[in-house]
Amino acid sequence: MSAPAATQLLDPHSARALVDSVEAFLFDCDGVIWKGDKLIDGVPETLDLLRSKGKKLVFVTNNSTKSRRQYAAKFHSLGISVSEDEIFSSSFAAAMYLKVKEFPPEKKVYVIGMEGIVKELEQAGFTAIGGPEDAEKRAEWKSNTLFEHDKSVGAVVVGLDPYVNYHKLQYATLCVRENPGCLFIATNQDAVGHMTDLQEWPGAGCMVAALRGSTEREPIVVGKPSTFMMDFLLQKFNISTSKMCMVGDRLDTDILFGQSSGCKTLLVLSGVTTETLLHSPSNQIKPDYYTTQVSDFIGFLGS
Amino acid sequence: MSAPAATQLLDPHSARALVDSVEAFLFDCDGVIWKGDKLIDGVPETLDLLRSKGKKLVFVTNNSTKSRRQYAAKFHSLGISVSEDEIFSSSFAAAMYLKVKEFPPEKKVYVIGMEGIVKELEQAGFTAIGGPEDAEKRAEWKSNTLFEHDKSVGAVVVGLDPYVNYHKLQYATLCVRENPGCLFIATNQDAVGHMTDLQEWPGAGCMVAALRGSTEREPIVVGKPSTFMMDFLLQKFNISTSKMCMVGDRLDTDILFGQSSGCKTLLVLSGVTTETLLHSPSNQIKPDYYTTQVSDFIGFLGS
């Protein structure tokens, strides 16, 4: 391991050393690539530069409401060319978890969540039910009437769902409790998130907790901070975590996540973390490197 | 303490001793008073007999969907005369918790739950908002638009809610996270319950968990197995728990709950527990007494 003992300000020398030593850069998006709906300066050129040096780029998001295709469209709308293959959303992670575990394609997957999960499951060859289709359904307590559920559901995937309702919760609860071996997969467990620019809203952690409450079971988490993504990249591209660099703007999520999975870590100051906070005695989380923003690479590696 | 060391089958002698030694009987309802929608034999006469001996009767239920008045109507429809004052529902418990804690009446209470909670809060002099009124509301993620919440909400009460939705969850989350000192009260945390005769459904524990997930806060629980009821009875009627007898059909809930709060305990075999299970080596929960059904008191205490 050639990682420095303390946090190092990125400079031409360390930037070259970092780029030479890693094969993949994993980017958190908000605060790194964009802020809200605004691209951060110099991002497209930086990504082109890293690609030209043969680096694999992975854009990591716990957002499960979109599929990779829909997420790529967001990148394009902001003026960045990113391929679906470079996106690792928690919706894709759920589908890949089932793939890696050789989930039988004849079994079904019940979804509490949005279209993103359904699309990724279908693209991976699985049959998804529930999700947006069940948004308007009601569950009624009727005497002598059984609330029926599909016994061939072998997995429940729960993500952020602004249309969560009692029908979906009962359906998922019955699958998890009554279908033998049924998996309970959470895209992520973020308590809240900036679904709008002005405030935070309940995140996937809210819906996942609801199903934990009714089933008294713990989910398999596939998004951050689970290290499923790293295991997947290792299997698929044969890149070990010591050859990955996690780039993020949050110490207690991105950087901690990168460190705990054995990646190199780079903090950018273009998001929520200030240099003062990074160096304050109360902060115990020290990234390997830090810099103002990702486009600093252009100057450091230039010409 | 005159409690016997091991479980004792109720007989004329011990029944008299038990009745003489307690001032209040706390009854679980399902499996003790009724089974589903059918009254258990001899219940009305037994309740009359215990009342004639000056015993206070309390019917305990974690059902928060009904108010005490609505619950009394259920008793009457089954042919039992029970007054509102004898009912301790978790909806009432939530209102009494606020009363005991001197919750300021000028503050509001946001409800995730049914009419029972709203009615009990109003009867106790509090202003309840949310609940059934918010059943059809949608929360939309709109740019530049703030989801507004009432800053005068000082408590959120969460109970079983078959109309739970994202609007309610966002509203309650904002109150708990942003209103200083806002209480988070759970009527109960039952994972599932027999809402219909043929199957179980997600219980209040599901909605409570959802709000725990989004707020990362732990609730104050007022229904079983919290001992708030015992504290309340002690304060209101000056009856110590050693003078109460908890009557129930479940070892791991009713009997354990009674024991942990210092009550005498009587298991009836008219519900889910068999005599074989009670005496099996795997069972560690030993009630003070057990008997076939509550009406056995009639024969034991008769004339």
Q: How confident is the model at residue B5 (pLDDT cuts 50, 70, 90)?
A: low
Mean of the per-residue pLDDT values of chain B? 94
Nearest to B207 by CA among B158, B248, B148: B158
Cβ contact, residue pair B201, A163, below 8 Å? no
Range list for CATH 3.40.50.1000 in chain A: 8-62+225-301, 104-221
Distances (CA, A) of B123 to A157, B58, B116, B120, B157: 42, 19, 11, 5, 15
Higher pLDDT, B140 or B245: B245
Please, where are the H alpha helices in B152-292? 166-178, 204-215, 228-237, 256-260, 275-279
B147 interaction partners in chain A (CB closer than 8 Å): 196, 199, 201
What's the CATH number for A8-62+225-301?
3.40.50.1000
Residue B209 sits at the chain A interface (C-beta within 8 Å)? yes
* Chain segment A220-245, per-residue pLDDT in tens: 999 998 989 888 888 888 999 999 99
Cβ contact, residue pair A213, B205, below 8 Å? yes
Residue A32 sits at the chain B interface (C-beta within 8 Å)? no
Query: Measured between alpha carbons, how far is A195 from B142 in angstroms, rounded to an integer?
Result: 9
Burial of residue A283 (CB within 10 Å: 0-12, 13-18, 19+) is middle
Cβ contact, residue pair B141, A195, below 8 Å? yes
Residue A156 sits at the chain B interface (C-beta within 8 Å)? no
> Can you give the pLDDT at residue A5?
54
Cβ contact, residue pair A141, B195, below 8 Å? yes
Question: Is B30 one of the annotated binding-site residues?
Answer: yes
* Chain segment B89-103, per-residue pLDDT in tens: 999 999 999 999 999
Question: Is B224 one of the annotated binding-site residues?
Answer: yes
Residues 116 through 145 of chain B touching chain A, CB cutoff 8 Å: 139-145
Question: Is B28 one of the annotated binding-site residues?
Answer: yes
Cβ(B91)–Cβ(B139) below 8 Å = no
Q: How confident is the model at residue B3 (pLDDT cuts 50, 70, 90)?
A: very low
> Can you give the pLDDT at residue A303?
52
> Can you give the pLDDT at residue B255?
94
Cα angle A175, A180, A183; round to 5: 60
> Which residues are paired to A186 by β-bridges?
A158, A221
Nearest to B189 by CA among B158, B166, B167, B213: B158
> Can you give the pLDDT at residue A35?
86
For residue B134, the distance in angstroms to the closest alpha carbon of chain A comes to 13
Residue B69's H or E segment, with its range, is helix B68-77
A20 flagged as catalytic: no
Residues of chain A with pLDDT under 70: 1-5, 303
> Is the predicted pLDDT of residue B175 greater than 90, yes or no?
yes
Cβ contact, residue pair B141, A203, below 8 Å? no
Per CATH, which fold does B104-221 belong to? Rossmann fold (3.40.50)
* Chain segment B282-295, per-residue pLDDT in tens: 999 999 999 999 99
B197 flagged as catalytic: no
* Chain segment B192-244, per-residue pLDDT in tens: 988 888 899 999 999 999 999 999 999 999 999 898 988 888 888 899 999 99
Instruction: Work out how many CB contacts closer than 8 A connect A with B.
Output: 130
Cβ contact, residue pair A213, B202, below 8 Å? yes
Nearest chain A Cα to B191, which residue? A214
B214 interaction partners in chain A (CB closer than 8 Å): 191-192, 202-203, 205-206, 209
Q: What is the mean pLDDT of residues B150-177?
A: 98
> Can you give the pLDDT at residue B303?
54
Q: SS3 of B184, please?
A: strand
A173 interaction partners in chain B (CB closer than 8 Å): 192, 201-202, 206
- Tokens read off for A241: 């975590």
> Can you give the pLDDT at residue B235?
86
